[in-house]
Each structure stands twice: as structure tokens, then as C-alpha cells.
Amino acid sequence: MIGQRALIGLAVASGLLAGVLYYAGAQRSPVIVAARDLDATHPLTADDLATASLPPDAVPAGSVADVSAALGKIPRAPLWRGQVVLAAGLTEDAAAFHTGLALPRGMRAVALPMGAAQAVGGALVPGARVDVLAVPVGGRAPAGRATELLAQAAIVLDVRADTGAPYGGSIAKSPTTYATDRIGSVVIAIDAADEIKFADRIATSTFILTLVGSR
């Protein structure tokens, strides 16, 4: 009799345990994912987003759980279809560069025309900090103008080829493009108050960038 009761108790306990495990395994948490491949150039709309359900232990930290929290925000980098949207990956500012870097609020982006020799031998990468020197061009700049330090520790947002495409972007597509892919400009962030000065110097100067060391 005691043995039967023990077996019944064991069966009940096993059933309860199985129910708990099934319930836990069946739980899902809503997360917001990209409904299609998205670039990092425009605010997200409802058509850009979808809701998916994942087991709680599979949800990445910082995932967006409500569509309204992502609407109007701009991805810091491109998103692939089905990729979970993270709150830290969204910003109020545009990240229009293939690097995913965003222009700091209140600043302006300007492309300075130059070749590799003026851009630290072509060693510059987005995210680097540079000082910007403007060397007056004879016959264009006013007489008596000396070399100027236009900006210090400006952030490099992008490096562009002379075709306007991202510098180095064609290397992976064809090995024959390596020799012809040349730097055409470097995009940096500047203060809004300096944009008129930079516009004038672009027409009258040659730019040289010097790399600022990390602290």
C-alpha cells in the first residue's frame, strides 16, 4: 500500500515537473526585428519593423520590445532582415556613412578634397582624429595669407575615393581595382560656426591632415 502511494506521488510530482518545464519552454518574449534589409540613412517606419517571439534566454540585452520605441529613430549601422533591433543601435541623428558613424548633433560634415599624400599617406581610417592645415594656393588665396590651422582633433567620418564611393570599398569586389582606387576626399565633422571658413578655404587652399595620437 505504501509502495503504491509512493509511486502515485512520484507520478504526480513527475507530471507537475513536466508541466513546469513545458510551460517554461513555451514562454516567449516579444522583440522588434528588421522587417527587411535597412540602411542607416532614414528614420524607421512601421513598415521597416516586425515583431518576433524568442525564448527569454535568447533575447539579447537591450533589445527593443515595443515598436513605438524604435519609430522615428535612425539605425547607427545597417540592419539585415530578421536582425534584432537594439536600443543602443538607434540614434536621433543620421549615420549616412557606410562606416555607421553618426555626425554629432550641432556639427557639420564637410568633405575636404585631397590625395593620399595629404591624408597621412592613405593611412587614415574613419574614427581617427586629425588636425586640419590649410596651405594657401598661389593665385587663388589672398596675398599674404599664411598656412592656417583650421581645426584640431576633428573626427574623420569617412574616407572617399575619387569616384565618390567609399575608399577601399571596391577592393573586395575585384583585385584589379586596388591600384586604381585612390583617395579623393576625407569627410570630417566641424563646428557649425566654421563652415563658411571651410567653404572659402576649399576654393583657395590645399589641405593637409595630421594624425592626432590617442591619449
Instruction: Report the pLDDT value the prediction gives residue 176, as an integer from 0 to 100.
Output: 44
**pLDDT score, position 177:** 42
**Structural domain spans, the chain:** 27-96, 107-211
Could you tell me the fold of the domain covering 27-96?
Type Iii Antifreeze Protein Isoform Hplc 12 (3.90.1210)
- What confidence tens digit (pLDDT) does each residue in 170-207 have? 444 444 444 457 898 999 999 999 999 999 999 899 99
Tens of pLDDT, residue by residue over 107-151, are: 888 999 999 999 999 888 899 999 999 999 988 888 889 999 999
pTM: 0.56
**Locate cell 507537475: which residue?**
16
Query: Alpha-carbon distance 74 to 95, whole Å?
Result: 7
- Whether the predicted pLDDT of 100 surpasses 50: yes
Give percent above pLDDT 90 in the chain.
Answer: 35
Instruction: Report the candidate in 9, 56, 45, 52 with the shortest Cα–Cα distance to residue 30.
Output: 52
> How confident is the model at residue 54, as a pLDDT?
85
Q: What is the pLDDT of residue 132?
A: 97
Cβ atoms 74, 105 nearer than 8 A: no
